[in-house]
Amino acid sequence: MMNRSLLLKLLSAFIVFGTWEIAGRIPVSYAFPTFIESMKALFDMTVDGRLFAAYGETLKPLVIGVIISAIVGIAVGLWSGLNEWFDWLFSPIFIVMQAAPLAALIPLLVMIYGIGLTSKIFVVCIMAMPVIVLNTAGAVRNTPSSLTEMGRSFQASNWEVILKIIIPAASPVIFSGLRLGVSAGFIGAILSELKITPTGVGDIITYSRSIADYASMYAAIFSIIVLAVLFLNVLEKIERFLFEGNNRGYASD
């Protein structure tokens, strides 16, 4: 018998793609292709290699930026959650980064770092890191004091309390922050390609729009969404592997 979660996923996809197909056939706009037309364009771009070449460019700043954001973000978040003075000093910076309009900062980054890879990595980090830092800090700060006190009563060192009690207890919110950070990183990577230099998937979107090839434009956008979902599922698997006892279930289950 088909798994219930798989059945719900298929039903959800059928509703979304069916609505997309109907909206394209009405049509709601001359610039809105049907789902079938978009998937045909996606297939054509995959077969001729354009999509793989585009992602070869897009994934460079995305992967580097997400890795930097995850490592630095979790480290700063842990420190902020454990040290009140450090939290007062650095949390406002990341709150401002999260609230600041990124499009207004991109010209400044281009002036400082040029139009190359460095600027795009900074855009990804500015998008991804604040949410990782703030979620991690909040998770650590709200770890039940009874757990840490129990650890210290059993003569656990500070590092043992952090590694064996605080991080596992905070892992659900930390990984929620990572998933949000990865999603924001995808947005940052595509935005950098649209606003700095038209390369990778951003170039496909820009070029397809300029020649009114809307099926290819929507196909490129659809491929980004699919890749982002795959990244998020990988993060869920990693969390389950690292913190097996904290398996709480997911909406995607």
**For the chain, which domains are there?**
52-244 (1.10.3720.10)
d(CA 203, CA 220): 10
Q: What is the pLDDT of residues 160-202, one digit of tens each?
A: 777 778 888 888 888 888 888 888 888 888 888 787 777 788 8
d(CA 33, CA 22): 10
Q: What is the pLDDT of residues 48-98, one digit of tens each?
A: 888 888 888 888 888 899 899 989 988 988 888 888 888 888 788 888 877
Q: 0.85 exceeded by the pTM? A: no
Helix (H) or strand (E) holding 160: helix 158-161
Half-sphere exposure of 198 (CA within 13 A, CB side): 8
**Do the Cβ atoms of 182 and 231 come closer than 8 Å?**
yes
